[in-house]
Each structure stands twice: as C-alpha cells, then as structure tokens.
Chains A and B, each alone.
Chain A
Amino acid sequence: MTAQALIGKILFYILVFIIVVVSVFPFYYAIVTSFASGSQLFQINYWPPSLDLTNYNTVLFARNFPRSVLNSLFIATTTVVFALFLAVTASYALARVRFRGRGLLLVTILAVSMFPQIAVLAGLYELVRFLGLYNTPWAMILSYTIFTLPFTVWVLTTFMRDLPIEIEEAAIVDGATPWVIITQVFLPLLWPALVTTGLLAFIGAWNEFLFALTFTIQETQRTVPVAIALLSGASVQEIPWGPIMAASVVVTVPLVVLVLIFQRKIVAGLTAGGVKG
C-alpha cells in the first residue's frame, strides 16, 4: 500500500469518526445525564458517575408517564395501520387503474404535504372539535394519518408501478379480483416498501409534538413528547433534567428496537428489486 493510499484511508476513518461522534454524542450524553442526580447534573461527565436509577424510578412510576407511553404506542400503531391500508389501496388505483385526472390527483396529494403543520392547526382543531374527537387519541390518529398519507402514497405508488404488469394480468386470468391481487399478490412483493414507509410513519407519529399538545387537555391523554416537555420539578424554577433525560432514553428504545428488527427487511427490499420475476 502506498503512503498516499494509507493517508487517504486514515483521513477517511477520521471523517467517519467525526460523523459518528457528532451524531451519537448528544444521545450518549443524555444517557449519561439520566444516571446522574442532584448536583452531579451540573458537572461535566463523559462517563456515568454512578449507576443511579433514581431518575428512571421517578419517571416510570410517575403517575401518568407509563400511560403516556401506552398512548403513544396506540396512536403510532393505529396511525401506521390506517395509513398503510389507505395508501396501499390508493396507490393500487393510482398506479394501475387508468382514469381521468390521475396525474392531477397525484400532484394534489403531493401538494397537501406542502402545508406546514401550524398553517392547518386551527382548521384541524375545529375539525377535531366538530367530530367530537377533542382530548381523545383519535384526534392524533386522524391528524397524523392525514400528514403521513401523501408521502406513503407516493412511495407505494412508485413502488407499485415498478411491479411487472404481467404478474397482475396473470392473476386476472387466474380469476383474481383487485382485492385478491392487492392482498395475495402485491402485498408480499411490497413488504420492503411497507416496512420502510410504515416505520417512517411510526417514527413521525411517535415524535410529533404540536398536534399532540393542542388536541389534548388531560394528563392521561398526553403522548410521550408532550409528557416529557411538561414534566415538572419540585418548584416552578426547577427543570428536572435527570427525569427528562431518563424519559428520553426510555422512549427512544422502542424506535431503536424497531429499526433493528426490520433492518434486514429494509436492506433486502433495497436489493431485491433488480431480479427479474
């Protein structure tokens, strides 16, 4: 190996190291902080000072935090189910059924995602009140589904367009209805796309703050981001950094686990497309 190649390699790994540190360090520091208590919080530690689980105790056995986690789980899961169901059926129509105004409809769907959350907040609030969903999980499920759908529909439509049309025609000759085609022929082929879009929808719903804050009033209806933001200390002046960090770590774990479970599927999906069926 020449000196030049060696230097190149060293520089490359230095760059990788920097990127990893910059992206992982904040989370690492949150973990460190979550183990600290009292005045330790205000010292700079790069290593957990002690394995003190007080903060976790405080959070997990606080009155409403476990409830918030369950709320978040329910809302995010239901959102994913609704969004995927609607998106799969819609994208079948958009990708495979010839009808007037299909292109326009696709662009309109994309245009919906241009609006910032804050712009539709007031209108959505009225809608939620009108439907009687205020202060229930369904308010969040509705609004998250609306905001996830454009992306999900677009990704699945592109994916579905690439599925060979002959497979669908073979299924038609075999006597399959559109519903059978979607569920028994296309869904198994769409798995990788479903996992990817579903995961992104889940993460979006899990992290969302503004709608969750606006559409809930009772502590028991809060989702995790709101609950964490509104964690209060002993007095108004005290921000309980320790419990906040412990809570952040707790709610990050499910996402990490999900990504780890599905990463094989995601990678398999990215590479499987090139094979002639």
Chain B
Amino acid sequence: MANIVLKNVKKSYGAVDVIKGIDLEIKSGEFMVFVGPSGCGKSTLLRLISGLEQITAGDLVFDGERVNNVIPSKRGIAMVFQSYALYPHMKVYDNMAFGMKLAKSSKEEMDARVRKAAEMLQISHLLDRLPKQLSGGQRQRVAIGRAIVRDPRVFLFDEPLSNLDAALRVATRLEIAKLHHDMEDVTMIYVTHDQVEAMTLADRICVLRDGKVEQVGTPSELYDHPNSVFVAGFIGSPKMNFLTGEFAKAQNCATLGVRSEHLQIVPDGQGMWNGKVVHAEDLGSDHFLFVDVGSDEPLIVRLAGKLDTKLGARVGVQPLEGQMHRFGPDDRPLA
C-alpha cells in the first residue's frame, strides 16, 4: 500500500555516523529484506523508517508524503520486535487491541479485527492468556497478530526469528511468507543477519555494509551477479570460495570467486587446481569436501550424494565453465 522512498538518509549519534546517506526505493507491496553483518546499521535504518529514531538528514517519503517528523503511530506502520515486546500484564486479547483502544476505535470493530487476526494466526484459543503462559513461538505469533490488528501500510520486522529455536524458526518463516501472500498490498521490511532468511523471504534484498547500501536486488540477482566481493561472500551458504594472489592472477583478476556447487572433482593433476582433501562434511543429501590447494583457505566443494572420498586423498578441482566471479583490485566485478 505504501511506496517508500529514502533520499540521502543519514543518522549520526554525536560525531558517529551510523547511516551514511542511503538512497532506496521500496515499492508498494514489496517484501524488502535488509541484511548485513552486525553493526552495519540495518536495525537503525529500520528504526528510522519506523520513527523510533530521528533522521539526522535526508528525506523519508511514504506515498509522496514526507514523514520525517511524523510520529510513529501516525505513519501507518506496525513493528514486530526481536524480543516480542508484549505487554506482560495484559492478556493476549488486550495486547492485540491496545493500539486500537488508544486510537479510540469502536468496540465492535476492535473485537472483529482482533478475532480475525487471531484466526489468521491460529491463536484464537490463546486470547485470554497472559504472555508468560505462552511459548516463544506463540508469543511471536501474538506479536505479529498485534501488528496485523493495526492494519498498517508498512510492516516492519526487526529480527523476529532470532529468539526462536531452529525448528520454530523455519515454521515461523513459512508463516511470515504466507502472511506476505495474504496481505499482498502491504509493504514489508524485514531486518535480519541471516542470509537464509533473506534469500527465502525477500522479493528484493538490500545488503548494507558500514551504513551504506552495498547492493540491492532480487535474491537471484545478488546470488548470481554480486556487485562486490563483500556481497559475494555474504550471500550464499557455504560462503563463496575466494582465491587471491597467483591463483587470481592466472585469471587476470585480483580476487577470484567460485561458489562451492560450481566446482567439480576430477582426478589428481587434471584440475585447474590440485590438492589434498583436509576435511569433509556429510549432510546426507549432499556433502562438502574441503580441498587444500595452497590458497589461504581450503576450497569448499559441494557434491551431491553420500561422501565417498577419503580424507587425505589427492584430487583435482575444476570450476564449471562460465561460473567464475572475477573481481578487480577495488573489489568490484570485472566485465
């Protein structure tokens, strides 16, 4: 519903610049994920959009209206926090209805909206419990429900899955994806440091580094055509293999990147690089070989099927044709 434009947005705390001028457009109904290492300013950027932090310079525009000085509750946003942030003394129902109560909505409308949101998230049976009587996953659902009840233009998620255990995280991730489908005209902005969450949820990903936008694009754009060594290394698991020095010079570049699934094992001596298998991880469906070819770190090779190579064996490693990423000395890709 809301088209969000950031124009040269900056944030400083005293002399420390946290956000160093960000230009970004988030389209209406889009699921945008901010991702980056800790301290890159992704949470701060979200808080600037929410209005919980003041913007130092630049413009924040919602649907053509500059909202820099509009208070959070008037921006039409709803936020889901990492720590759930439910009101501990209120029952689930009151937690979800609090915003509408403050807005002095009619009782009937409030009741209808709370019940509809509860049904959507399958928490109808929990409405008269206190937050402390709920499990972590249920609490996060209530927090999401509270956000839905606000009927926002923009949904903001601040690392909502970080406090959940691995199984719940996957389940809740699916739920959020479903929510995005059900509420397709609501813009969603999601902050995470987990690139898997970013890849699976996002329509577009914005990779932040050190208070600046490093690259914006769809998950596959970022995966296939990373704009810098940083993005190449950040997106994808396991991390892209990087080769420097003589290895890179042979390909006329400063840094050579190859993803693990784009490497093949060939008999020793026949690969572009040759070395010893120093470590192996078997995941059942596929396995990883760590091959020491004399570079700084061993190359990780992803192979389908069960592990059948012995540790210490000498093998050749051959990259697939056209799947190498060549970066110049400025860490930018070479044509």
**A→B interface (CB under 8 Å):** 164, 166-167, 169-176, 180, 185, 188-189, 275-277
Contact = CB atoms under 8 A, between A and B. Distances in A.
A169 B50 CA distance: 10
B102 A170 contact: no
Given A174-B98, A174-B99, A175-B73, A169 B88 contact: no
Contacts of A174: 73, 98-99, 102, 146, 150
Interface in B71-102: 71-74, 77-79, 81-89, 98-99, 102
Contact of A169 (B52, B102, B103): B52
Interface of B: 50, 52, 71-74, 77-79, 81-89, 98-99, 102-103, 131-132, 146, 150
A175 B87 contact: no
A180 B73 CA distance: 14
Contacts of B73: 172-176
Given A275-B132, A277-B131, A172 B52 contact: yes
Contacts of A176: 73, 98, 102
Contacts of B77: 173
B103 A175 contact: yes
A175 B85 contact: no
Contact of A167 (B50, B72, B85, B99): B85
Nearest to B131: A277
A170 B102 CA distance: 13
**Residue from the set A166, A170, A275, A276 with the largest chain B CB neighbour count within 10 Å:** A170
Nearest to A191: B89
Given A173-B50, A174-B73, A174-B98, A164 B150 contact: no
A80 to B, nearest CB: 22
A170 B88 CA distance: 12
B95 to A, nearest CB: 9
A169 B85 contact: yes
10 tightest A-B contacts by CB?
A175-B73, A166-B85, A174-B99, A188-B89, A170-B85, A277-B88, A166-B81, A175-B102, A173-B72, A173-B79
Given A175-B73, A188-B89, A277-B86, A169 B99 contact: no
Contacts of B79: 169-170, 173
